[in-house]
Amino acid sequence: MWGWTLVLAALACIIMMIWPKWRVEYPLVSVGLHLAVAAPFVALASRFIVNDTTILHVALNGGEDLPLKYRFAATWAAREGPLLMWAAWMGLVAWWFGRPLASELDRTHQLRLRLMHGFTLLLLLISMTLDPFAANPLGLQGSGLNELLQTDLMVIHPPLIFLAYSLCIALATTSLAILQYGDDADIDKRMLHQTRPGLLIATLGIGLGGLWAYMVLDWGGYWAWDPVETGSFLPWLALVLMGHLRTRPGKTSTLMWTGLGLATGALALFATLVTRAGGVWAASVHTFVVSADGTPPTDVFGRMMVLKDRAEGVEIVSYVLLILLLSGVFIRAVLGTTKRPFTYLFFIPIVGALFAAVFEYATYAYAPSLFFVGMVFAPTAVEWPKHIREEESYWTYRNFLSVPWMIVVPMVAFLITGDLLFVLLNALMFVPLYSAQDTRKAWGWGAAGTMMCLASAWSGLVELYVAAILLGFYILPWLLMGEEQSEKKPWLTRTFLLRTTLWAPVVLTSLYLILTLVILISSIDAVQFNAHELYGAPFVMGMALAMFTYTSRKQSPKQVVAVVFGTALASILLAVLVPSALGGDASESISEFLSRGTIAWLVLPSVLIALVPVGAEVFNRVQSSGFGKIAPAAHLVHFGLLLLLVGHVFTTVLVDRGDATHRITLTRGEIVEVDGYGYEFEGIVLEDESLEVGSRYIGAIISVYSGGEKIGEVQPGLLGFDGSPNPPRSEVDTLVRVHGDIVFIFDGSQTSGLMQQVSADGEDSVQRMRVIIYDLPGSHLVWAGWALMMLGMAWLTILDAKKTPHPRSEEE
């Protein structure tokens, strides 16, 4: 019976694809259709809430003894529920943005809605292959909801992440519709209208996930560059980049707006792949969906293709093909073949995707993908290079050596790496250079390709010589022609500094996004925490110094530049001369020449020097223009980000959570002094009334002293679950101090021994125990910064919803 809700939802999507204008013309009918799309998720959630074990999915993942809120959370514990939840969110987003956007033509509006409903239909069809309402005739029982998900934050965090991804998909469909018809009037207002709520929801969702990790996971931090965390960070960066396009100097092209919209949707799909393609990123602790086995290929794409014969194969391959489809559309749009939109923009990528889907299960894994890429690039292979301009001052690949570079570069990348994902990234970076009328003016894409090659070598994704070969293609115009000649003008002016700082968010965020993506792709067997922090530090420094320069724009340019270069030089000198001066684990080596303190010194001075002027900018903007303008809200987000970064350095960069010195052995009745604090083990407890779940508990009562006086008491513990194959769950406890939190984690390696000892000889027999202690100065800044960022983003979203004008002004 419940399975019919899937059929009803699919029919509703088809009806809305055929008659998308019903959202405007028949609003009540439209509401009913959108509710029908959400019906399967509501139905499945209701089955979990009442613990209907006649449904196999509920029997395997639910539990009669679970509190009501955790029964609801169990709806998205496995593979089927999140798909239905995503479909429901897509229905809500399609309804919310169902009316025409700013200056949107009728046909563009209809196509945008059709694409959104089409993606929702795809989610529902994938759900049907998994059969979420399958009967349980044998009365099977599973292990129930994963223990790590039995927390209050997990009731909120996953739904918010999927809502954010839905808004990213909406941006991609808007971009597709604009490219289809060339309807780009007020494109900035359309894109920002969807970007701002997307960024707010993504920030809230990621932050709640960090809070969950901080309170539950036994590494005691809020961020560990886990593949799933990093995956969700990628669309967030794309949304940040989208939010800054309006303020960059000069006119932002339609291709830039739509290309970034396509990238945002593709990165949301990629982030979903990282989360749900269990076994591809074997290093991830987020293994709630499938087991991590049977993954012999060493590249990401190869591992994804291994999954094609398993239950999740249809979903994984669908996401891969959608990413390839969006990539193909971008390539064809860059090449300018959009005069007959459907034929040139959609037809070839769609045909390629369909053929790939058909051949995926009939041939070896790489064959259909190669066929798809060939279908995308085929028109350029037969397009002999044309002479575009006769002036010697212009340079283009199409005029150089009469070689089809658009085919040569991806082919070289494939021949020397065999990694199709790396080949696709190279194609996406190179095609704008290839198609540019004057390649040197497309310096941004040259920088992006250079960043990708460097990051690939740094992270170990490719060998150094491979990166060098491909790097040569991206810097070729500048090697042959040198810098573009222009009239020499004084550079140390307010105008120059202002333009530079307004370019900084776009350039630095773009390069940082590429760096993060490449490191993630190379991190399939080990999380590269140090690589993310080390290679990202210069970008954080540059962004903070850009904020300082902008907020000091009324000062003397010479003074501003002196401070900027002086700060950068001081950071480097401090990083080299006194890397361990910041305390914590600053002296912990991350390589032969570098330590954690090195990274911290590269970031902290620039962030600290920007804090006061950015805060003053918020205050001054509110005083001068009130709360009805975009600028003060945007600067409040910047101020919150700077606060968060200061806290991040002290709580994450300067803490080595694998260092054994944080593991302290305590003896009952004795005070152990560590870093100015005294810790006394008072006793073992086997019950905790505040816990709503679990079947067994062991905790340790620890008193904390400072200056000889008791300042608090904590109770870290471990919570066990009968019948679960997983180890007990950490119950982290924190002692809140003015400078930050002191985090206490029960050392799980001693659990079984302590349990046996208590069972045999009683609680008083336990005289020694181990606890992991992290003193985290600045941890409050992380959460305060996060809260201010959300406040600013909510402020921006409300202003946009009120249709506040968005003047193009460098002052904003």
Read off the pLDDT of residues 177-208 as tens digits, 9 standing for 90 and up.
999 888 999 999 999 999 999 999 999 999 99
pLDDT of 21-57, one tens digit each? Answer: 999 999 999 999 999 999 999 999 999 999 999 999 8
CA distance 693 to 147: 9
pLDDT of 568-598, one tens digit each? Answer: 999 999 999 999 999 889 999 988 889 999 9
What pLDDT, on the 0 to 100 scale, is given for residue 366?
Answer: 46
DSSP string, 291-318: -------SSHHHHHHHGGGSTTHHHHHH
For residue 668, what is the DSSP state?
A: B
For residue 651, what is the DSSP state?
A: I
Three-state secondary structure call for residue 532: helix
Please compute the mean of the pLDDT values over residues 329-341 and round it to a whole number: 68
Which of 265, 258, 372 minimizes the C-alpha distance to 323?
265
- Contact in structure between 267 and 238 (CB atoms under 8 Å): yes
Which of 578, 555, 95 minimizes the C-alpha distance to 586?
578
For residue 253, what is the DSSP state?
A: P
Which of 187, 152, 172 minimizes the C-alpha distance to 70?
152
What pLDDT, on the 0 to 100 scale, is given for residue 712?
Answer: 95
Question: What is the average pLDDT value for the chain, to the nearest integer?
Answer: 86
pLDDT over threshold 80, residue 379? no
Please compute the mean of the pLDDT values over residues 204-231 and round it to a whole number: 90
Choice between 749 and 11, residue whose per-residue pLDDT is larger: 11
What pLDDT, on the 0 to 100 scale, is given for residue 406?
Answer: 79
Three-state secondary structure call for residue 797: helix
pLDDT class of 390 with cuts at 50, 70, 90: very low
pLDDT over threshold 80, residue 296? no
- Contact in structure between 592 and 526 (CB atoms under 8 Å): no
Please provide residue 477's backbone torsions phi and psi, each rounded to the nearest 5 degrees: -60, -40
What pLDDT, on the 0 to 100 scale, is given for residue 387?
Answer: 42
CA distance 755 to 383: 73
450: which 2 tokens? 């250079």
Task: Using the CB atoms, write b or e for 563-589: b if 16+ within 10 Å.
Answer: bbeebbeebeebbeeebeebebbbebe
Q: Are strands 729-731 and 717-720 parallel, antiparallel or unpaired?
A: antiparallel
Give residue 756's Cα distance to chain centre.
43
CA distance 784 to 287: 30
CA distance 578 to 807: 47
Reported as type and span, the H/E element at residue 463 is none
What pLDDT, on the 0 to 100 scale, is given for residue 803?
Answer: 65
Q: Are strands 733-736 and 671-674 parallel, antiparallel or unpaired?
A: unpaired
CA distance 337 to 345: 7
| Least confident span in 357-361, 444-448, 544-548, 722-726 | 357-361
Please provide residue 78's backbone torsions phi and psi, each rounded to the nearest 5 degrees: -115, -145
What pLDDT, on the 0 to 100 scale, is given for residue 285?
Answer: 60
DSSP string, 189-207: HHHHHHHHHHHHHHHHHHH
Q: Are strands 733-736 and 729-731 parallel, antiparallel or unpaired?
A: unpaired
Q: Are strands 733-736 and 740-746 parallel, antiparallel or unpaired?
A: antiparallel
pLDDT of 694-743, one tens digit each? Answer: 888 889 999 999 988 999 999 999 888 887 777 888 889 999 999 999 99
636: which 2 tokens? 């409040």
- Contact in structure between 809 and 188 (CB atoms under 8 Å): no
Judging by beta carbons within 10 Å of its beta carbon (0-12, 13-18, 19+), is residue 465 exposed, middle or buried? exposed
Query: How many Cα neighbours within 13 Å face the side chain of 273?
Result: 29
Which of 236, 243, 182, 173 minimizes the C-alpha distance to 210?
236
CA distance 570 to 604: 11
- Contact in structure between 509 and 237 (CB atoms under 8 Å): yes
C-alpha to C-alpha distances, 615 to 17, 126, 632, nearest whole angstrom: 48, 48, 10
Amino acid identity, position 111: L
pLDDT class of 357 with cuts at 50, 70, 90: low
pLDDT class of 392 with cuts at 50, 70, 90: low
What pLDDT, on the 0 to 100 scale, is given for residue 347?
Answer: 54
Cβ-based neighbours of 90, under 8 Å, separated by 6 or more: 37, 116, 119, 120, 123, 166, 169
CB atoms within 10 A of CB 488: 6
pLDDT class of 664 with cuts at 50, 70, 90: very high
| Least confident span in 134-143, 241-250, 604-613 | 134-143
Which of 299, 310, 234 minimizes the C-alpha distance to 79?
310
Cβ-based neighbours of 347, under 8 Å, separated by 6 or more: none
495: which 2 tokens? 């105008």
Give strand pairing partners of 770. Answer: 665
Please provide residue 718's backbone torsions phi and psi, each rounded to the nearest 5 degrees: -130, 140
Please compute the mean of the pLDDT values over residues 89-99 and round it to a whole number: 96
Task: Using the CB atoms, write b or e for 668-686: b if 16+ within 10 Å.
Answer: eeeebeeeebbbbbeebee
The angle subtended at Cα 788 by Cα 285 and Cα 239, nearest 5°, is 60
DSSP string, 357-411: HHHHTTS-THHHHHHHHHHHHHHHHS---------TT---GGGSTT--HHHHHHH
| Least confident span in 61-65, 69-73, 467-471, 780-784 | 61-65
- Whats the size of the chain, residue-wise? 812
Choice between 378 and 457, residue whose per-residue pLDDT is larger: 457
Cβ-based neighbours of 10, under 8 Å, separated by 6 or more: 121, 124, 125, 128
124: which 2 tokens? 């529902």
- Contact in structure between 727 and 747 (CB atoms under 8 Å): no
